Each structure stands twice: as structure tokens, then as C-alpha cells.
Structure 1
Amino acid sequence: MLRGSMASQENKPLLHGVTLENLYLNKVQNKNLYLATFAAVLGPLSFGFVLGYSSPAISYLSKTSDPLVRLDKNEASWFGSVVTIGAAFGGLLGGWVVDRLGRKLTLMLCSLPFVFGFTLIISAENISMLYAGRILTGLASGVTSLVVPLYISETAHPRVRGALGSCVQLMVVTGIVGAYTAGMVLEWRWLALLCSVPPFLMLLLMGFMPESPRFLLSQSKRVEALNALAFLRGPEVDHEWECQQIEAYAEEQGGSFSIVDLKNPAVYKPFLIGMLLMFFQQMTGINAIMFYAGSIFEEAKFKNSSLASVILGAIQVIFTAVAALIMDRAGRKLLLVLSGVVMTISCTTFGLYFKIAEPDPNNSPHPTPPSNSLSSDNPDRLTWLALVSMAFFIAGFALGWGPIPWLVMSEIFPLRVRGVASGSCVVTNWTFAFLVTKEFHDLMVALTSWGTFWFFSGFCVLNVIFTLLVVPETKGKTLEEIEAYFQGSSAT
């Protein structure tokens, strides 16, 4: 358990009871910061299109008259999940590249595998080309999920960092809904063409945006850092003051990451927190809930599964937007706890639905294991319970455990290890996303359907306990203050 406290406002110079930081932030103009954030979050939007593309594309490719690209059930499963493999490698690659080329250039470069991947899919003449395109877009998604939160956290100031950081997840779910919606009217090749537009726009817009001031100072590029701050904060503030605040910590850290750093509690404590946040995010069972969504909507007489997917995505977008709006007021810990509690109740109720609806094995001498679809014998009167549980689970996830792990990951690491540590977190996230997705059926057979969801409910309880005991509150703190917290806790 971490102890200690954040660097307090008392350590900052005071002027008539008001900190210099507050005086500085009161004069900041956010217009260009919002523009830079918009350019960056076109990456997560592209990432969302990648994730959302598989559902409508598989629907077309499983029925196409072209035998060279027609997917059977196994091939369709790999078409959907191979993205996570590419994304895991993207996390490894991004962790290495982002500290060498910088946040801006890495983000611009990762637009290329997005575009090339979708180009391969558009021109696909066989299933191997489809897989290659998905792996490339997955690779770009892995890099994007690492570098965009870093870029936003290092360019934003404490008053808006939570809201802007939450826009990463907001744009991901927006991209998913966009792909679902467009997939209702566009054939799979045209849909792939549409999905290649956001990364192309990101490449163009990011060319006009500044590099992260913190990265520039770590590279001893002080003039460039001042210019970046002038662009991001407007002309009314003393850019030299903020530059000196960042510079003091950059000089204090010095050097780059080495394996010896892992012995330092100020490094390994946030490292472990980041890794566990990603682990617990996937173990909430979000992929399992989404896996069952189509069958549940069919039980509820929603015959249009595409429309059902859009409805689910819309719930995610709405509550992720709510999280972004209240993030810098409510704080990270409160939303994580609230999210975990809602998901615990919802997942438990979801399991109860399956327990009640599942046929009694004692009535059959040869009980069969649960299948991947809801039984047609399930009573219609219980369908509302499943629908409400699913809706609340997705809303709860979107409110906290969806966006916040990515935000906290971008805030808690010292500058010199930020790339490597963030890369490790991304790999952890995508590895468990792949395992949960691919092993879900086996889990359903081993634990039964209701047992599986109660298993996930148990992890949601652990999420709440982990948040209360371990996760620090980062609301309203500079990245340097957050680092000072871990430095302080390591000394206690």
C-alpha cells in the first residue's frame, strides 16, 4: 500500500494567498491546446474504427460470393482478434520509439500502418491479405494507445488534463460507433476506405502541432520548448516560469531508463500500479459482455443486430463523455470506485440472469455445457434483467474503468521511464484482451455461464479494493507533483 502525500500547494510561492501556479493558469488561453488535442485524438478515433470495423466486415465477408476472401467461423474469429496481437507488438515498439523520436513524430509515423493496413484490406485478394491488414492496423493501434495519452498529459495543464485525457477513450468509442453505423450502409471495402480517412487527417494536422515541451526539455531543446509553450498556453502568460518548473524536474531526473531504475520505489510503484490498472481493466469482463450482446438483443426481440451494436456503442459514448466532463471535478479515484461498484452489481445480476434462465441439469441425465449463445428456452420475462444489467455494466465501465487507466498511465510515470513503462502497460492490456477474448468460451464451459460472470464480478470487487488502497488521486496535480508524491512515498 502506498503512503505519503502529494506535493502540497504550501511548497509553492504565494502572492496574497494565491499560488503563482493559479495566477499563471488563470491567464492561460486553451484554444491552441484544444486544437493540438483534437489533432492527437484522431489517433484514438482511428483506433476505434479498427476495433469497430471487424463486426460489420465479418458480416459481409462470411456471406460474400468470392471464395478467396470468404471467412468461416474460425477465420472470422482470427480476423477479429488478430488486431490485439498486432497491438501488443505496437505497445513494445511504441515504448521504444516514443523516447527516441518524440511524441509528435511517433504519432505521425503510426498513421502510416493505419493507412497501409486498410489499403491492404481494400485490395485484398485472399484471406492472408486481410489478416496482414488487420495486423498492421493493430500495430498502429498499439502505438496510438500509448503515445496519445502521453502527448496529451505532457501538453495539457492540471485544470484540463483529466478532461482532455478522457477524450482518448471517448474518441475510441466514437470510432467504434462510427464503424458500426457506417457498416449498416457501406460494403466492407468502402468501409475500409472510410476508416483510412481519420489517420490521414491526423498525419496532416499533427504536422502543424508542437512537440511536447517536457520531451523537448529532456532533449535540451529549451528554445523549442518555450515556443511550444507559447503555442499551447497563449501570449498572456510567463512561459519562462512554466519552463523552469518543468526544467527543474527534468534536470533532477537526468539520463534515460536503465534496468537499475526498477530498484527505485519511485519507479517500480507507479510501474506496478499502471500494470495492475491495465490487468484489472480487462478482467472486468468487458469483452465478455460485448461478446454476448448480440444474443441478448436477439432474446429481447431486437432482430437487427447491427442496430443493437450501435445502441451499445452509443451508451459507451454518452457515459465516456460524462466522465470527461466531470473528471477534473470528481477525481480519478471516485469515478474508479463508482465504476467498479456499478460493474460489480451489474455483473452479479447478469450472472443471476444466467443462473435462473439456465436449464436445471438435474432434469437431464446428460447435461450439456453452455454454448456461446443464449438458449431459446430462456424465459422472455427475464430478458429485461439481462438488458438492464448489460446497459448498466457498459455505462459503469465507460464512466471509470474505460478511460481512467489510460489517463492515469499517462500521469504517474517519471519522464525518463515514461516510454518504457507505458509500453509495458499497453502490452499488458492487449495481452489480457487477447486472452480473455480467445479463452472466454473455455471459461464458460469450465465455470458455466453464470459462474463466469460471477468470476468477473469478483474481479470488479478487487478493482474497488485496489483503487481505495493503492491508486493515488492525481486530480489537479502537475506531472511533477505526481512524481514528487511517489518520491515522498518511497521515503516513508
Structure 2
Amino acid sequence: MDHNEESRPLLAAEGGERRAEDRSGRDSYLDKVKNGKLYLATFAAVLGPLSFGFVLGYSSPAIPDLCRISDSRLQLNIEEASWFGSVVTIGAALGGLLGGWVVDKIGRKLSLMLCSLPLIFGFTIIIAAQNHWMLYVGRVLTGLASGLISLVVPLYISETAHERVRGTLGSCVQLMVVTGIMGAYIGGLFLDWRWLAIVCSIPPTLMLLFMCFMPETPRFLLCQGKRREAEDALRFLRGPDFPAEWECARIEEEGSVSLADLKDPGVYKPLVVGIMMMFFQQFTGINAIMFYAETIFDQAHFGRSDVATVIVAATQVFFTFIATLVMDRAGRKLLLILSGVTMTISEAAFGVYFKLSSVKHGNSSDHNETFGSQEPFGEEPQPGLEWLALACMALFIAGFAMGWGPTPWLVMSEIFSTKVRGLGSALCVLINWSCAFIVTKTFQSLMDLITRAGTFWLFSCLCALNVVFTIFFVPETKGKTLEEIQAHFKGLPAG
């Protein structure tokens, strides 16, 4: 027998003993951690996603207002309303691309503080708008900040949290996004578009103030060679009595990335997984549905579309909160599969609803004016059938909130090594928002081309594909350190 073959069982046994010792030491360390200030830092950071949610939700109540406004300089027609809803995604794609460079140059904390400025300026321009271009510029600026936020906040949380609470805290990102969307919808019931923009500018102002008192992430400080500052940050986040040197020793300091690193499975595998997850998240149709939620219910003959969108948003908040509670118990993969199956069924049923309601209707022109559809609705659907639209929408949102809403952002923040985290996350965010722009901008044209029913059936098929992708390609990251996740992609034993 070859000497190397004889030594493999011994090396495996030694590796297993080391991993057991590491886990024992890690558990002993985690038992001593005090999470109070970690939760405070997370709260300060997730004011960014709350602001991001207000940006996403703002267009749904604002577009009907701006379509009905008497001032011809600001009144939006069908095409202009489409741009107002979707142009934010262009800014977000640019923000994601810029964010990869920013987070590596100035750090996670300063990047978060920087995000608040275009949010505040963007909403200020919308508030003071005198023409369409001011509205568009304001939306692009708030989109730019949203792209930065969607990249920076998951990184900040993943690099400050430990593995026992990383899933729960990472899920808070999406929880705050949907809370912001619901806040914008509720505000739209009582406020016009200018006052709603004023309310939307409050969360980024608070984020700027709170983040002044929070630490930079220990991983970024170690990568900058600032070990003492990293230890101070860890004592702030874990409590004053914990062994900061022990955790610093666990964090691998890695060099800068080069093209040659793309051959490394620890680089290209997580990059492919991250990009595909962002693609599938957007091609569930979520942003098209949320951007135009109120108008979708108008088309579905629902009497109070503004109230219906608030109900849907509340459903999203509730189920995202549930996902936050179970993320570190159920695991990422199981929630993604359940989420994908639920969305597949709900969007298929939504397509059935639109198919049943696509007969001649005398008042269809009112709906067509609002949303620009050329497809006639037809006669009034059977009594009570309009509630099928609300049920399908609520089921879809519940499914999305349980898995494909929070989990791709959480997994993105976990799977990249330190040296490629900025670049990898930037590419994922760029793909995400580019796909969001494609979906939101083409949503109405797609409904005109293949009908409303066909559009939702198409999204249903794509949701079925994301279930297959999850089963075969997405790793489970529950309870693993960031180093153990990297070892999985490299095909090495975790330890």
C-alpha cells in the first residue's frame, strides 16, 4: 500500500479531532458573548434597508397621484409613469456597481453613512420637483443609495455578527425593506406624493446619526492591518470581557483579488451561485408586482386597491418576521425550496384569475388608462372572484417573504471570501438591479404581448426553475462560520 494512502486515515482522524476542538472552543466562546451592542449596531445598519423599502414602496401610491395631478408640468402619462417606477432600478444598479469599490476603499461603516446622502437629496429633489426631470433625478438618486444599501448592509451584518445569530440578523435586512414598503403604502392612504416623500426622508437621516456611534467591522479592520482597532470593535460587539484575540485569530487575512483567482473554486463557485440567486429572485416578478401593486388590484377589479396593497404589505412583513425567527433553525435551503413552490402555485393561480376575467367589460377603459393596458378586461367576473386576486397576491408575497426575499441577500453576504467580498457582492447587486429594471420596465409590455394570464404563468415557470436550482446548487450555510463555508466551495473539510 502507498505510504500516502496509509497516512490518510490518520490525517483524517487528526483533522476530525482538530475540528471537534475548534467547535468546542467556539461554543465555549459564544456562550460568553453579550449581544446587546451587536443588536444596536444591527438596528443602526437596518435603518438603511428601511429607507430602501420606502423607496420601493413610494411609487405605488405616488404614481396614481401624479397621473391625476392638475399641474401639466408634473402630470405623468402612461410611459412617464413607467419610467418613474422603473428608473430607480437604473440608479440601484449603478449603486451596486459603485458599492463594490466603495466598501473596499472606505469601509463598511463609512459606506453606510455615505448611503444616507443621496437618499436625503433624492427625496428633497422630489419634494421640490417642478417638472418630470426633477422627479426622475430624485428617483435615480434614491435608487443609487438603494443599490449601495443592498450591498453594504448585508456585509456589515455578516462581518459583525457571529454564526449563532447571523441568519436571524441577516434576515432583518429584508424585514426592514418590507416594513418600509408597508410604511409607504400606509402613508399613501393619508398623504399626497409630496408629503409622503417628506416622510420617506426621515429614516436615512436617522441612519446617518446612529451610524456615527457604531464600529467598523472587525474583518475590514484586520484586512487594513488595524488589529488593535479590530479588537476594540469586537469588544464593543461581543462585550468587554470576551477574548478578542481569539476571534481575530480565526479571521483569515487574505490578499487582493486577481484574474487568476477566478480559477479558484472558492471564488467562481460562490460567484455563480450568488449571481444566479439574484437572477432568480428578480424573475419571480417581485419588483414589478410591488412597484405596481395598487394598479394591479385596479386591474383585478378590487374595489379599494390602496387598502389591498396595505394588506399585502402587512402579509409580507409578517412572513418576513417569521422567516427571521426560523432562519437559523430551519436553514436557508429548506426555506428557499418552500418559498419557490409557494410562488409557483400562487402565480399560476393568479394567471388563472386573469384568464377567467378577460372577457368584455364596459368600464375597462378606466383600468386601461391607469395602467396602460390594451387588453380588455371584459365582463364583470363572477361574484367574489376579485378576492382570488388578493388571495393569490397574499400567498405569493408570503412565499417570497419566507425564502426568496431575505435569503439571497443573506447568502450573498456569507459565501464570498474576504478578498473578493466587495467585488463579488457588487456583481450580485448589479445583476439583481439590472434584472429588476428589465422586469419592471417590460412588465406592462409583456402583459400586452402575452396577456396578463400568460405573464403570470411565465413567472410561475421561472419560480419552478429556481426550486430546481436551489436543490442542486445552493449550499446550506446554517450554523457555519464564514471560513467553513469557503472550505465547502473549495471541497475541503470544514475546520
Superposed counterparts of 1:82-121, under 5 Å: 82-121=87-126
CA apart distance, 1:289: 4.0
Q: Supply the distance in 2 between the matched residues of 1:325 and 1:242 (Cα, whole angstroms).
A: 26
1:116–1:418 distance in 2 versus 1, CA, 3 Å: same
The SS at the match of 1:472 is: coil
Q: Supply the distance in 2 between the matched residues of 1:188 and 1:136 (Cα, whole angstroms).
A: 17
- 4+ residue stretches of structure 1 with deviation over 6 A? none
1:248-280 per-position Cα deviation (integer Å, ceiling 9, x unaligned): x21xxx321222221211100000000000000
Q: Which residue does 1:52 correspond to in 2?
A: 57
The SS at the match of 2:394 is: helix
Equivalent of 2:69 in 36, 43, 64: 64
Q: Which residue does 2:398 correspond to in 1?
A: 395
Superposed counterparts of 1:151-170, under 5 Å: 151-170=156-175
Equivalent of 2:461 in 445, 454, 458: 458
Q: Supply the distance in 2 between the matched residues of 1:10 and 1:110 (Cα, whole angstroms).
A: 45
Superposed counterparts of 1:408-427, under 5 Å: 408-427=411-430
1:395–1:23 distance in 2 versus 1, CA, 3 Å: same
Q: Any conservation in 1 of the 2:319–2:402 contact (CA below 8 Å)?
A: yes
Equivalent of 1:382 in 380, 385, 402: 385
Q: Any conservation in 1 of the 2:59–2:292 contact (CA below 8 Å)?
A: no
* TM-score normalized with structure 2 length: 0.90
CA apart distance, 1:237: 2.0
1:161-205 per-position Cα deviation (integer Å, ceiling 9, x unaligned): 011001101101111111111122223222212111111111111
Q: Supply the distance in 2 between the matched residues of 1:215 and 1:40 (Cα, whole angstroms).
A: 16
1:14 aligns with 2:38: no
CA apart distance, 1:490: 11
1:138-177 per-position Cα deviation (integer Å, ceiling 9, x unaligned): 0000000000000000000011101100110110111111
Q: Which residue does 2:346 correspond to in 1?
A: 346
CA apart distance, 1:444: 2.4
1:352-411 per-position Cα deviation (integer Å, ceiling 9, x unaligned): 233344349xxxxxxxx9746744433334333333222111100010001100100000
Q: Any conservation in 2 of the 1:12–1:20 contact (CA below 8 Å)?
A: no
1:298-341 per-position Cα deviation (integer Å, ceiling 9, x unaligned): 57764332212111110110000000010000000000001011
1:9-29 per-position Cα deviation (integer Å, ceiling 9, x unaligned): 8543539xx711011111110
Q: Supply the distance in 2 between the matched residues of 1:291 and 1:108 (Cα, whole angstroms).
A: 26
1:72–1:454 distance in 2 versus 1, CA, 3 Å: closer
1:482 aligns with 2:490: no
Q: Which residue does 2:268 correspond to in 1?
A: 268
Superposed counterparts of 1:225-304, under 5 Å: 225-246=230-251, 249-250=252-253, 254-290=254-290, 293-294=293-294, 297-298=297-298, 302-304=302-304
Q: Any conservation in 2 of the 1:296–1:386 contact (CA below 8 Å)?
A: no
* Structure 2 runs not aligned, ≥5 long: 1-14, 361-371
Superposed counterparts of 1:201-212, under 5 Å: 201-212=206-217
Q: Supply the distance in 1 between the matched residues of 2:352 and 2:303 (Cα, whole angstroms).
A: 24
Q: Supply the distance in 2 between the matched residues of 1:468 and 1:430 (Cα, whole angstroms).
A: 24
Q: Which residue does 2:315 correspond to in 1?
A: 315
Residue identity opposite 1:157 in structure 2: H
Residue identity opposite 1:441 in structure 2: Q
1:351–1:489 distance in 2 versus 1, CA, 3 Å: farther
Query: Which region of structure 1 is more displaced relative to structure 2, 187-196 or 226-235?
Result: 187-196
Q: Supply the distance in 2 between the matched residues of 1:357 and 1:305 (Cα, whole angstroms).
A: 17
Residue identity opposite 1:123 in structure 2: A
Residue identity opposite 1:14 in structure 2: E
1:375–1:46 distance in 2 versus 1, CA, 3 Å: farther
* TM-score normalized with structure 1 length: 0.90
1:79 aligns with 2:77: no
* Structure 1 runs not aligned, ≥5 long: 1-7, 361-368
Q: Supply the distance in 2 between the matched residues of 1:37 and 1:372 (Cα, whole angstroms).
A: 47
Query: Which region of structure 1 is more displaced relative to structure 2, 459-468 or 50-59?
Result: 50-59
CA apart distance, 1:489: 6.0
The SS at the match of 1:106 is: helix
Q: Supply the distance in 1 between the matched residues of 2:21 and 2:85 (Cα, whole angstroms).
A: 56
Q: Supply the distance in 2 between the matched residues of 1:347 and 1:77 (Cα, whole angstroms).
A: 22
Q: Which residue does 2:443 correspond to in 1?
A: 440
Query: Which region of structure 1 is more displaced relative to structure 2, 298-307 or 384-393?
Result: 298-307
Report the count of equivalent residues: 470
Q: Any conservation in 2 of the 1:97–1:106 contact (CA below 8 Å)?
A: yes
Report the RMSD for the aligned CA atoms in angstroms. 2.3
1:86-109 per-position Cα deviation (integer Å, ceiling 9, x unaligned): 000001100111111100011101
1:173–1:487 distance in 2 versus 1, CA, 3 Å: same
Q: Any conservation in 1 of the 2:54–2:184 contact (CA below 8 Å)?
A: yes
Q: Supply the distance in 2 between the matched residues of 1:218 and 1:88 (Cα, whole angstroms).
A: 27
